[in-house]
Structure 1
């Protein structure tokens, strides 16, 4: 059967993506008009097919190759080969190594006090300005996430790292190279030069930390650099891995927490329920232990519902090596298959009233009745996000620290508009007022 989609455009689809406000919104519109499987144009992809039905996605889960052109914007961060498009024989052992660190409970437990300590410092600062000017969550929380992942990925050797400058440098590089991918006209003639300067700073920073790292005798698999050295990875591959890990982790966790607090500010009954659960589980303690996370079941449901409505990474992509049958359609070899996470998460066939915030969607009973790939915030298959477990632990820890002490309310007169910026970002920020919870005055850090 012919795959439906819009008529071809001379510019390869760039203007259609721009007019929609980004690829994520463009995919939403395409699926609303043409159904669960859509053919469309995109710069960097000769034939692109987007699949928004979770049942049909199962036929694509085995795909193990990513389209190099669409991930070329990450090339500057990688000198030993773009880690997002490594061939399977290189990717499989590299992924296994990363999962042994990023997905392992020992690593999470070892670094958990660092996560909660960093969150508590920010909560102290916000509590001290309660009743004052609203805070802008995204910038604050991506910086917090970067501090946390620096401690994790760099083995704690981040004392001299200027976190704010590192975050700004990442944004400089990504903005420049994503702009090239989507053919966005440069507003600043020095943007390319500034991106090169930012990249040089990032490489020098990671090199300094790697050089200061003393791996001799280390066998601790919760230490990312130590594990990479022990595995015999080259210095360039170690640096590339650290760079990409910092990039992915600081965006994902900070954005996920920002959207969750935004949604709780709009749904005070859910915020009340989270607060009651935290009081019940933590008692008088200001921060959770690692073991408390499994008892914070409603908080976990809230986070999952937030990432359903606002998945930090709005889409993924694979390349077909041979003709592929998906339902009644045949996707040709060499095509780019898109996983439009946002469209999948808003598919009304699998999510009744899809735009409504309802954490109860994630009770064990309802999860068991749902299609396997109806909820895919971290992707699917062998190219799914290696840091999914770590990002989830970080986000739950940060939310627990914040919501035990603080209440977040939407700042009046501030619109929140999602846009594509490597992750699903709020265009003008997420501004919220912060106040101490009733009966929970400011608690200074020890």
Structure 2
């Protein structure tokens, strides 16, 4: 496979033999390191990446398009998810297994009929959070990430498990324990003497979650939970169905809540943009507090603000694939077995396609503006056959939550609180996003 030019050596920093850990730490994080690398070496960079024998980062959207068809993830980079999947690591399934699995999942998560069927239930959950916030208005700032991430998990539990869960709060608690153990250990070591204890708690929580999902599967009817029914109709084993449900919960947990949190953070710091979005919501909803599914298409300013937020703060800042054959990209030879690293955040900050890239300008996503940019200049959910299956559902959830919250509250940043992004499994604010809420007047 070749994409033009005479073959030459891929530029990059000298190897240190430590998986790049020193250079990443010196730069202040992987994102800052990627920006530095691409500024110095160009759109294609060879670098050391922990868990990869060789890695090449690609930050140009035109070149990304040339790699978008790759349907293999590097197994070592996704090995941390293996304990959650007894029926094989769903993130690294071979292409022949992954394609039918993805098709079955997309039939539900990306389906308009399914979104409409669940919309009222999702709206009720968001409305419950707004009610709780209204009760405590004036009692100090709320911590957006904490509350909205919990809402995100409740939403995906309802979507994936329906009404088959007797104690959704216990499910939320158990899942938090699993996330802390299996994902938290990626970013910080356990306190001395607590590693075995944490592992035991996580295993107990995971056993509980599997039992809950197994119970839903045992009582599921073909006309019941559409996710379970679609996976069963695709011929998947009960173990793979259970693992799929758990993996969807993992992927969706935090993601929607984090995207909404960053959007509210940016709107609170750009009052003129916030006023435009709020005026649009007021006009569309008229005398209603809760939106209907059809209303979302009538909220383009809200959608543009959300997209611009995810450009500046993509919920998942990175992706990776593994080449299955030799290729030449922009004149550089990339052998089979190489990890292709997708720095979504660096792509979104490319000044060639995003003038004044650090500025919050929702108008960038007006249809006529978006049409001028390459397809992969904006990739908050990844690209190609391994992109996020829940992308369209996440957008529906985020727009719904934003419409409800902006209809009911004005958001102001808490004084003296710095919001600093940090790279974890999702792009998180290191010390939270704290906001003062003022209830808006009820619609007349």
Q: CA deviation at 1:216?
A: 5.6
Partner residue, 2:414 = 411
Q: For 1:225 and 1:115, how far apart are their aligned partners in 2? A: 18
The answer to which of 329-338 and 378-387 deviates more is 329-338
- SS of structure 2 residue aligned to 1:69: coil
Partner residue, 1:66 = 73
**How many correspondences in the alignment?**
436
Q: CA deviation at 1:229?
A: 2.5
Q: How does 1:141-180 map to 2 (within 5 A)?
A: 141-161=148-168, 162-179=170-187
Partner residue, 2:38 = 31
Q: CA deviation at 1:30?
A: 1.7
Q: For 2:247 and 2:28, how far apart are their aligned partners in 1? A: 26
Q: For 1:201 and 1:170, how far apart are their aligned partners in 2? A: 6
Q: For 2:383 and 2:279, how far apart are their aligned partners in 1? A: 34
Q: CA deviation at 1:148?
A: 0.5
The answer (yes or no) to whether the contact 2:110–2:393 under 8 Å persists in 1 is yes
The answer to which of 323-332 and 118-127 deviates more is 323-332
The answer (yes or no) to whether the contact 2:52–2:77 under 8 Å persists in 1 is yes
Partner residue, 1:440 = 442
Q: Paired residue for 2:352, among 344, 349, 353?
A: 349
Q: CA deviation at 1:12?
A: 2.0
Q: For 1:67 and 1:410, how far apart are their aligned partners in 2? A: 40
The answer (yes or no) to whether the contact 2:74–2:321 under 8 Å persists in 1 is yes
Partner residue, 1:190 = 194
- Note the alpha carbon deviations across 1:160-192, whole angstroms, 9 max, x for none: 13254134213322335424xxxx544343134
Q: For 2:199 and 2:277, how far apart are their aligned partners in 1? A: 42
The answer (yes or no) to whether the contact 1:301–1:359 under 8 Å persists in 2 is yes
The TM-score with structure 2 as length reference comes to 0.94
The answer (yes or no) to whether the contact 1:67–1:317 under 8 Å persists in 2 is yes
The answer to which of 272-281 and 225-234 deviates more is 225-234
Partner residue, 2:111 = 104
Q: Paired residue for 1:22, among 4, 16, 29?
A: 29
Q: For 1:28 and 1:239, how far apart are their aligned partners in 2? A: 39
The answer to which of 88-97 and 331-340 deviates more is 331-340
The answer to which of 247-256 and 302-311 deviates more is 247-256
Q: For 1:357 and 1:130, how far apart are their aligned partners in 2? A: 28
Q: For 1:294 and 1:385, how far apart are their aligned partners in 2? A: 22
- Note the alpha carbon deviations across 1:398-418, whole angstroms, 9 max, x for none: 000000111111111111111
- SS of structure 1 residue aligned to 2:428: strand
- Note the alpha carbon deviations across 1:261-317, whole angstroms, 9 max, x for none: 111111111111111001110001001000000001110101000000000000100
Q: For 1:212 and 1:64, how far apart are their aligned partners in 2? A: 31
Q: How does 1:327-342 map to 2 (within 5 A)?
A: 327-342=330-345
Q: For 1:192 and 1:420, how far apart are their aligned partners in 2? A: 26
Partner residue, 2:12 = 5
Partner residue, 1:207 = 211
Q: For 2:262 and 2:196, how far apart are their aligned partners in 1? A: 31
Q: How does 1:83-122 map to 2 (within 5 A)?
A: 83-122=90-129
Instruction: Give the direction of change, closer, same or farther, for the CA distance of 1:391–1:328 in structure 2 (3 Å limit).
Output: same
Instruction: Give the direction of change, closer, same or farther, for the CA distance of 1:356–1:34 in structure 2 (3 Å limit).
Output: same
Q: For 2:432 and 2:171, how far apart are their aligned partners in 1? A: 20
The Cα RMSD (Å) is 1.8
The answer (yes or no) to whether the contact 2:262–2:313 under 8 Å persists in 1 is yes
Q: CA deviation at 1:214?
A: 5.2
Structure 2: tracts of 5 or more residues without a match:
1-7
The answer (yes or no) to whether the contact 1:59–1:325 under 8 Å persists in 2 is no
Structure 1: tracts of 5 or more residues without a match:
none
- Note the alpha carbon deviations across 1:17-53, whole angstroms, 9 max, x for none: 2333432332222222222111110121111111111
Q: CA deviation at 1:215?
A: 5.2
Q: CA deviation at 1:213?
A: 4.3
The answer (yes or no) to whether the contact 2:318–2:342 under 8 Å persists in 1 is yes
The answer (yes or no) to whether the contact 2:165–2:212 under 8 Å persists in 1 is no
The answer to which of 225-234 and 115-124 deviates more is 225-234
The TM-score with structure 1 as length reference comes to 0.94
Partner residue, 2:231 = 228
The answer (yes or no) to whether the contact 2:13–2:46 under 8 Å persists in 1 is yes
The answer (yes or no) to whether the contact 2:10–2:46 under 8 Å persists in 1 is yes
Q: For 1:2 and 1:129, how far apart are their aligned partners in 2? A: 60
Give the ranges of 4+ consecutive aligned residues of structure 1 lying more than 4 Å apart after TM superposition: 213-217
